[in-house]
């Protein structure tokens, strides 16, 4: 029975990339690449490569675990299992390599697979955000700063901001591929001593075989700043997903209720309060974002290994690498579904626009007064006093301005119409999502 929720509850296509079977295969891919390079250089017979490749297809994970239980070394357990299936070529398996030549190089391949899979998911999410931005570029709503009503904006602006941030996150992950897509074949302390004078040539050839870049310098491991960078990028993506989820949660509050995450016909909101429509899917996204961020700290602490390496990174990396990718992939999948089914309440959007009885148009009123010749500071103070009076006495700001006869009534009708005070919002949205 699964213990981790990422094995069932939050499972996605990403799980297959980090399963033990896939890791074992990637380890053997590196062993085969090393054997091919040895054969090309005449270090081992060419026939040995076919034997090792054939052997790799016969290795069972159960046998690897059986050997590991005896020798307490997972990589060497794979080497022994592969050797058992490679016949006369067994003596050439793992020739000149150390464990993390294989493991870290395989990890680079796994990370590249994971980034590709996640980017496909994020691309779909981006399409949904783009569609929402365009659809709602004219949906005027109240903007909020410091939790207070500010001036009007549009829902298209909200979604365009998310779309652009998502694009930057995708760019970061794409750029990180250059630094994570690196392998090594440099031995116990990085000197390549086991390969003699051909060390750099062998490393370059193995990495070319695998589609990776060779590390310019390493010790026993690929340096962990590379992995920490990717987990930081995942955390940034998770933070965006949390930002969207938090906005939906706040806008779904009973006092606001402008939008709502989808709610199924038979869905239950509470075990005791039948009326509840809790935004639990968005809350789940926010909860998981905390986990992804926490893993970043662990990844950063893994950078400072002792001397040429110690093993303090190994155990936690078995958890944080796969967990972080699966978690963000699930969050992106969940957020895509939420946004696809997002429910809007136009009447509440309109009601909230008028909730403060014209106070949100104070800025526009101030600007109109300056255009009539009043000094900016004088106009600001006058409007501030009127706005505070309207607030205290629960009066309509427009009526107080009319009493002062500051501007013609026709102009005031325009000034206090929030739908006509969104500046370049429509054009901003179109520009933000046109790529």
What is the model's pLDDT at position 274? Answer: 80
146 noted as active-site residue: yes
Asked if residue 216 belongs to a domain, the reply is no
The last residue of one of the domains, among 37, 72, 95, is: 95
Q: What is the domain-level CATH number for residue 88?
A: 1.10.275.10
Tell which of 95, 113, 133 closes a domain. Answer: 95
Q: Say if 23 falls within a structural domain.
A: yes
The one catalytic residue in 146, 254, 271, 307 is: 146
CB of 36 within 8 A of CB of 119?
no
Would 88 be classed as within a structural domain? yes
Provide the pLDDT for residue 214: 97
- Give the predicted TM-score (pTM) of the model: 0.94
In the predicted model, residues of the chain with pLDDT beneath 70 are: none
Q: Give the active site residue among 73, 270, 287, 419.
A: 270
Per-residue pLDDT, 68: 96
Is 55 exposed, middle or buried (CB count within 10 Å of its CB: 0-12, 13-18, 19+)? buried
Q: Judge whether 270 counts as a catalytic residue.
A: yes
**What pLDDT score does 275 carry?**
76
18 touches 39 (CB < 8 A): no
Domain count along the chain:
2
Domain presence at residue 327: no
- What's the rounded Cα separation, in Å, for the pair 277 and 204? 58
Please report whether residue 390 resides in a domain.
yes
Domain endpoint, select from 95, 121, 154: 95
Nearest to 357 by CA among 420, 416, 422: 416
Terminal CA-to-CA distance of the chain, rounded, Å?
Answer: 46
b/e for 56-94, b at 16 or more Cβ within 10 A? beebeeebbeebbeeeeebbebbbbbbbebbeebbebbb
Half-sphere exposure of 141 (CA within 13 A, CB side): 22
Residue 408 lies in a domain: yes
Residue 260 pairs in a beta bridge with 343
The answer to whether 156 and 188 are in contact (CB under 8 A) is no
Angstrom distance (rounded) from CA 7 to CA 34 = 33
Cβ–Cβ under 8 Å, residues 311 and 74:
no
**43 in a domain, yes or no?**
yes
Q: Summarize pLDDT for 201-250 with one digit per residue, the tens.
A: 999 999 999 999 999 999 999 999 999 999 999 999 999 999 999 999 99
Query: pLDDT per residue over 9-43, tens digit each?
Result: 999 999 999 999 999 999 999 999 999 999 999 99
Residue 224: how many other CB atoms lie within 10 Å: 20
Tell me whether residue 382 is in a domain.
yes
Q: Which domain holds residue 365?
A: 359-415
């Amino acid at each position: 029975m699964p213990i981790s929720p990422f094995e069932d509850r939050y499972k996605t296509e990403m799980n297959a990339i980090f399963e033990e079977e896939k890791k074992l295969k990637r380890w053997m891919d590196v062993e085969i690449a090393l054997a091919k390079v040895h054969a090309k250089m005449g270090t081992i017979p060419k026939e040995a490569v076919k034997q090792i490749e054939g052997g790799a297809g016969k290795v069972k994970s159960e046998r690897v675990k059986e050997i590991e239980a005896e020798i307490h070394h997972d990589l060497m357990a794979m080497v022994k299992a592969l050797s058992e299936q490679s016949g006369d070529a067994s003596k050439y398996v793992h020739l000149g390599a150390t464990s993390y030549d294989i493991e870290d190089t395989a990890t680079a391949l796994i990370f590249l697979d994971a980034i590709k899979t996640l980017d496909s998911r994020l691309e779909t999410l981006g399409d949904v955000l783009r569609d929402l931005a365009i659809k709602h570029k004219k949906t005027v709503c109240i903007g909020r700063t410091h939790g207070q009503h500010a001036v009007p904006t549009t829902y298209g602006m909200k979604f365009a901001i998310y779309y652009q941030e998502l694009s930057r996150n995708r760019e970061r992950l794409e750029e990180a591929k250059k630094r994570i897509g690196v392998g090594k074949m440099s031995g116990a302390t990085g000197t390549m001593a086991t390969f003699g004078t051909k060390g750099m040539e062998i490393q370059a050839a193995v990495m070319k075989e695998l589609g990776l870049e060779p590390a310019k310098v390493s010790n026993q491991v690929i340096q962990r700043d590379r992995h920490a960078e990717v987990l930081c990028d995942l955390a940034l993506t998770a933070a965006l997903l949390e930002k969207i989820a938090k906005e939906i949660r706040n806008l779904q509050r009973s006092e606001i209720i402008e939008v709502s995450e989808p709610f199924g016909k038979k869905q239950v909101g509470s075990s005791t309060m039948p009326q509840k429509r809790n935004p639990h899917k968005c809350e789940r996204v926010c909860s998981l974002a905390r986990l992804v961020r926490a893993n970043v700290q662990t990844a950063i602490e893994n950078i400072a290994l002792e001397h040429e390496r110690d093993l303090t990174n190994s155990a936690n990396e078995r958890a944080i690498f796969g967990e972080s990718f699966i978690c963000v992939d699930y969050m992106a999948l969940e957020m895509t579904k939420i946004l696809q089914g997002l429910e809007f309440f136009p009447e509440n959007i309109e009601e909230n626009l008028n909730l403060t009885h014209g106070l949100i148009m104070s800025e526009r009123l101030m600007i109109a007064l300056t255009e009539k010749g009043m000094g900016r500071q004088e106009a600001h103070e006058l409007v501030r006093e009127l706005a505070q009076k309207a607030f205290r006495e629960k009066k309509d700001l427009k009526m107080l301005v009319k009493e002062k006869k500051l501007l013609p009534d026709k102009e005031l009708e325009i000034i206090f119409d929030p739908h006509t005070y969104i500046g370049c919002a429509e054009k901003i949205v179109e520009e933000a999502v046109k790529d």
